[in-house]
Structure 1
């Protein structure tokens, strides 16, 4: 399915080790963990499989050029030499997104504009017409990474970011990205069989992602990808991959999923999202204050949850939030012995108020740093 080329899968900070393992599980070649993601070698088929199956990646980029770029002219000439017509029709649509750091050229918007100019000039020179520029639903997305006066140009094989799974029907004020939820679940060491509980379930992202993992459903099953709109797209390849993914799906009717939230509307959102994702597990949803959280003794399940923090705090300030952490921590210590725990919080102060010892992993939700607390079994060693 074509010669091997270089790809880069991006992810949220802190999830690089998890993404690296996912790529290993897909048996891809020459995987290397880097800041913000992992590079790997592969074919067009490998890129399609990565988009369909990676749970923690945000995008999969196909690198098509790299060159010295200390000036506007070097950027323009480097972009002009790339054979964009291989992937984009002259009357197609394109989007360019750039990041520039520690380089002579620092303004990302200007970098984007000069790359667009080069692409359009190449088409106008060779075909007498040029593609148009858009922001969403374009035929070809292009990524420009400029670091220390070296440029990497890449094609966005994903299109919309991969956290946009396609199943979500409802969301709260600050929904947890699906990719971060999947990362939390994978870091929690949940076995995909024991009960999974979320006492701050919001719109149900963690519960849906857990169910998809347990049922071995490809996270990209609900959507299409940018590379399916390329000039040389291979629809038969995707049809085959989706059929193979459907054959892997397994029933999870015995899986216990327990979600609760103090906001009744959010619990209704959870129910809608679980239904939209086709979840047929043993569901238990309830409107409940997490300070009264008291799961079934002896289940030895996993509590994986995104506690309120950051933009989710709302009115009332930090002290009320710390009080919530103190009360919820008491419930965890007194009512949840034997349960595993993965709790996402915003600050070390909040986790100190929780008073539950465990491993802490630094992650990020968008541009907001956060901390994931991991505990193998409450009431036991970390």
Structure 2
């Protein structure tokens, strides 16, 4: 089976988590770079990584890399690559592009040249005299040029991997499913411990926690571009799906709760959880964070509360942080993890975090404040 160079793209700050997931799937020689993780794998890896990677944005297949400073260079070196091995005669291959600090800075021109070059190669190899129909499977090509180095890839995922297929509704500032999964994986929560999100919004964090808790592949209920490609066998796809079904631990008992002050968001959360097939696994409740009084010890809270970025919201949000901190003083064995863009969070919450990690929620720079609870008394 042919080996490919694969690139799992990632949001800034999540690269090490994506790399850990790739290694957990059994792929070695992993290289971590800004916003991407590079590794080697065969067609099974394409299927398995799309199904299993919880925190990656996409899985791309590297077709080729080279230096180019002229349009002739770009055309000839693109044409020299084995596009016919990946794209069938009727394959659609739209080209997107980006160029940073490079001689070839006009992205529309670079896209047009790459498109024309690939078309020439496909016509030559598939024996097509006129134009290519492009009415078959989709193969999204990207030409990325950085400091005159050209990287040409095929997007194996299609729609971004954060689109799990369960989100029917969402609030004003939804958290991406990939980031929600990362927030859970950055804790040392185990599925046998209580898990709460006190500001659950549309339920993304509790849903991702339940998927992790039962080891359900996040891509199990959606489709990917590679499934339509000629060089990926149906058996490969079926084997990957069978593995995902076998690995799921549907018997794992979970104690997961999502809470929000807004009853509309609780209804949306319930619908999303049902769509994800998790309706019986998560308890939802309309409640404000200050009413949180757990009987258990040693549980986990993972939340992405409002940031108070709009003028007028700030004081109200800071009051919520302050009261939340006061409530948690009474539960010293609980582990609290909060993602917020408010740089004064520790001061307002009333306690210095055990650990802090810089992350990005979309384009908003945020910190992940981690408070480790003390060990419960036996």
SS in 2 for 1:297: coil
Q: Which residue is 1:141 aligned to? A: 140
Change (3 A) 1:217 1:379: closer
Change in 2 beyond 3 A, CA 1:366/1:111: farther
- Which residue of structure 1 lines up, in the alignment, with residue 304 of structure 2? 306
Structure 1 counterpart of 2:347: 352
The superposition leaves residues 5-62 of structure 1 with CA deviations (integer Å, 9 ceiling, x where unpaired) of: 2111111111111111111111102111111121111111112111111111111111
Pick one of 367, 370, 378 that aligns with 2:366.
370
Deviation at 1:280, TM superposition (A): 5.3
CA–CA distance in 1 between the matches of 2:69 and 2:250? 55
State whether structure 2 residue 328 is matched by structure 1 residue 329: no
Q: Is the 8 A contact 1:308 1:321 kept in 2?
A: yes
TM-aligned CA deviation for residue 344 of structure 1: 0.7
Instruction: Answer whether contact 2:90 2:134 (CA < 8 A) is retained.
Output: no
Shift of 1:129: 4.2
Check the 8 A contact 1:103/1:148 in 2, yes or no: yes
In 1, Cα distance between equivalents of 2:132 and 2:310: 45
Is the 2:8–2:60 Cα contact (8 Å) retained in structure 1? yes
Q: Secondary structure at the match of 1:142?
A: strand
Structure 1 residue 85, shift from structure 2 partner: 2.3
Check if 1:340 corresponds to 2:335: yes
CA contact (8 A) 2:321 2:345 kept: yes
In 2, the alpha carbon distance for the partners of 1:99 and 1:377 equals: 46
Corresponding residue for 2:199? Answer: 200
Unaligned ranges ≥5, structure 2: none
**2:316 — aligned with what?**
320
Instruction: Report the TM-score when normalising by structure 1.
Output: 0.90
**Which string of whole-angstrom CA distances, capped at 9 and with x for unpartnered residues, describes residues 98-128 of structure 1?**
2322212334344323322322343455513
Unaligned runs of 5+ in 1: none
The question of whether the paired residues in 2 share the 8 Å contact of 1:214 and 1:252 is answered with no
Name the Cα RMSD after superposition.
Answer: 2.3
The residue correspondences of 1:160-309 to structure 2 (distance < 5 A) are 160-252=159-251, 254-279=253-278, 281-290=280-289, 292-309=290-307
Equivalent-residue separation in structure 2 for 1:38 and 1:262 (angstroms): 39
Number of matched residues? 373
